[in-house]
């Protein structure tokens, strides 16, 4: 297991871990956490293939590059900020978190302290009154850029200019500030309307040598250090020779496909979210990648259409949500019949289910590599290589 001990960090303990529920394994040493995750993946996947040793972080703290804080008032009327208690909408007050970027936590504490002097009330979900609902801070791991998103219940923001000026005076490291308006009674954090209050409205960060634009709503892996490890292993498993055509399904803002583009002939990125596709196209242009093509479509339907035209691809990369893939998607992929499938999973349980489905339909699991993307929590990512037992000869590519 690849981990370097840090005795100072190993002594750290979170005082609210029991209430928060976000860090289920924080009370264990990091070595013990990795053992727990290794055993979990082994128990589910060893029937398919030998599971390699989990890859841990050298410094498994303060890694989250997206920090979201909910705001409320306590019984005494004091403003509090933090995270929702597990299974509820009760805010657990937090000033600093062992897995969140420390710059982000400091900015959130500053904003909380400014509310009283600017007479800004926190939003009351039950009564539907108040202004500030949430604050989200996104940070660039290598770029150092910082985006602050103020989620308000109304587009009317009294003393807006003075508030922004005061915040920037305290935190000149902030590179952009966005106002997001969420006026609906919903558990969703972000609303549809946005206004850039300062800076360019997005940040950029570098991942595996490629630069990506991160907007308030962009999906971007929250642990940049381990994402480089994970994506590196995914591309390594695919064993790309430079002539392949690959599909990046569930492609989001295009990260995997853009990173793999140097090693293949053609990349096809397919994503249902229209905003993500726009970001993906921007990111490809930003990195001067000319061999990638994005489609705003359901990936399963897209592969069905390719198969109907007798077209083929060499490798499919898929990185589905925690619920895993769907039978419809996997049936479409089987119909397209790629020689290899690289499945990146954030949920070993749904991964086991999907692998069993694919194995029954002619695929063989060749290798599984767990990567600890979320130290302190029970979650673990796994990168799996599958190959078809009877790969057909390539047909003309799209």
pLDDT at 1 over 70: no
Tens digit of each residue's pLDDT (9 = 90 or more) over 329-373:
999 999 999 999 999 999 999 999 999 999 999 999 999 999 999
Per-residue pLDDT reduced to its tens digit, 124-153:
877 888 899 999 999 999 999 999 999 999
- Residue 394: its pLDDT value, please? 40
Q: Can you tell me the mean pLDDT for 243-270?
A: 95
Residue 275 pLDDT: 86
Looking at residue 125, what is its pLDDT? 79
> What average pLDDT does the segment 201-218 reach?
94
Q: What is the pLDDT of residue 184?
A: 81
Q: What is the mean pLDDT of residues 62-90?
A: 89
Q: Is the pLDDT of residue 398 over 60?
A: no
Which is the catalytic residue, given 14, 23, 251, 346?
A: 346
State mean pLDDT over 255-262: 96
Residue 87 confidence class, pLDDT cut points 50, 70, 90: confident
pLDDT given for residue 13 in this prediction: 73
Is position 49 annotated as part of the catalytic site?
no
The pLDDT-based confidence of 11 (bands split at 50, 70, 90) is low
pLDDT at position 89 is 79
pTM for the whole structure: 0.89
* Mean pLDDT calculated for residue range 252-266: 95
What's the chain's average pLDDT? 91
What pLDDT does 25 receive?
85
Residue 7 has pLDDT above 60, yes or no: no
What pLDDT is recorded for position 12? 62
pLDDT of residue 351: 97
- What is the rounded average pLDDT of the residues 250-274? 94
pLDDT of residue 9: 47
* 3-state SS record for the chain: CCCCCCHHHHCCCCCCHHHHCCCCCCCCCHHHHHHHHHHHHHHHHCCCCCECCCECCCCCCCCECEEEEEEEECCCCCEEEEEECCCCCCEEECCCCCCECHHHHHHHHHHHHHCCCCCCCECECCCCECCEEEEEEEECCCCCCEEEEEEECCCCCCCHHHHHHHHHHHCCCCCEEEEEECCCCCCCCCCCEEEEEECCCCEEEEECCEEEEECCCCCCCCCHHHHHHHHHHHHHHHCCCCCCEEEEECCCCCHHHHHHHHHCCEEEEEECCHHHHHHHHHHHHHCCCCCEEEEECCHHHHHHHHHHCCCCCCEEEECCCCCCCCHHHHHHHHHHCCCEEEEEECCHHHHHHHHHHHHCCCEEEEEEEEECCCCCCCCCEEEEEEEECCCCCCCCCC
Percent of the chain with pLDDT over 90: 77
pLDDT greater than 80 at residue 247: yes
Does the structure show a pLDDT above 60 at 72?
yes
Asked if residue 60 has pLDDT above 80, the reply is: yes
- From 20-29, 201-210, 242-251, 339-348, the region with the lowest mean pLDDT: 20-29
């Amino acid at each position: 297991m690849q981990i370097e001990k840090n005795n100072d960090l190993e002594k750290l303990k979170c005082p609210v871990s029991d209430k928060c529920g976000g860090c289920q394994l924080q009370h264990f040493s990091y070595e013990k956490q990795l053992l727990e995750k290794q055993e979990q993946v082994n128990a589910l996947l060893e029937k398919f293939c030998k599971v390699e040793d989990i890859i841990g972080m050298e410094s498994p703290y303060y890694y989250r590059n997206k920090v979201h804080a909910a705001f409320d008032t306590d019984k005494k009327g004091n403003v509090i900020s933090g995270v929702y208690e597990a299974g509820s909408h009760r805010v657990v007050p937090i000033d600093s978190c062992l897995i969140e970027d420390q710059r982000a936590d400091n900015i959130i504490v500053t904003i909380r302290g400014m509310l009283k002097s600017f007479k800004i009330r926190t939003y009351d979900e039950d009564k539907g009154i108040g202004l500030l609902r949430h604050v989200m801070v996104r940070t660039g791991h290598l770029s150092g850029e910082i985006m602050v998103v103020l989620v308000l219940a109304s587009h009317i923001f009294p003393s807006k200019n003075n508030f922004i000026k005061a915040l920037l005076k305290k935190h000149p490291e902030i590179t952009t500030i966005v106002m997001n308006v969420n006026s609906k009674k919903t558990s969703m954090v972000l609303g549809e309307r946005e206004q850039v209050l300062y800076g360019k409205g997005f940040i950029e960060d570098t991942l595996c040598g490629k630069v990506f634009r991160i907007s308030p709503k962009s999906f971007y892996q929250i642990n940049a250090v381990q994402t480089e490890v994970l994506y590196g292993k995914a591309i390594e498993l695919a064993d790309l020779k430079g002539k392949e055509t690959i599909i990046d399904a569930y492609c989001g803002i295009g990260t995997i496909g853009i990173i793999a583009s140097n090693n293949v002939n053609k990349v096809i990125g397919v994503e249902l979210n229209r905003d993500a596709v726009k970001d993906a196209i921007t990111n490809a242009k930003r990195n001067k990648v000319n061999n990638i093509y994005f489609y705003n479509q359901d990936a399963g339907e897209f592969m069905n259409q390719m198969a109907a035209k007798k077209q083929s691809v060499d490798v499919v990369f898929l990185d589905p949500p925690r619920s895993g893939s769907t039978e419809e998607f996997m049936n479409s992929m089987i119909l397209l019949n790629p020689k290899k499938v690289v499945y990146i999973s954030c949920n070993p349980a749904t991964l086991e289910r999907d692998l069993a489905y694919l194995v029954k339909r002619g695929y063989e699991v060749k290798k599984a590599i767990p990567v600890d993307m979320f130290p302190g929590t029970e979650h673990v990512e796994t990168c799996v290589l599958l190959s078809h037992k009877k790969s057909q000869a390539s047909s003309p590519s799209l």
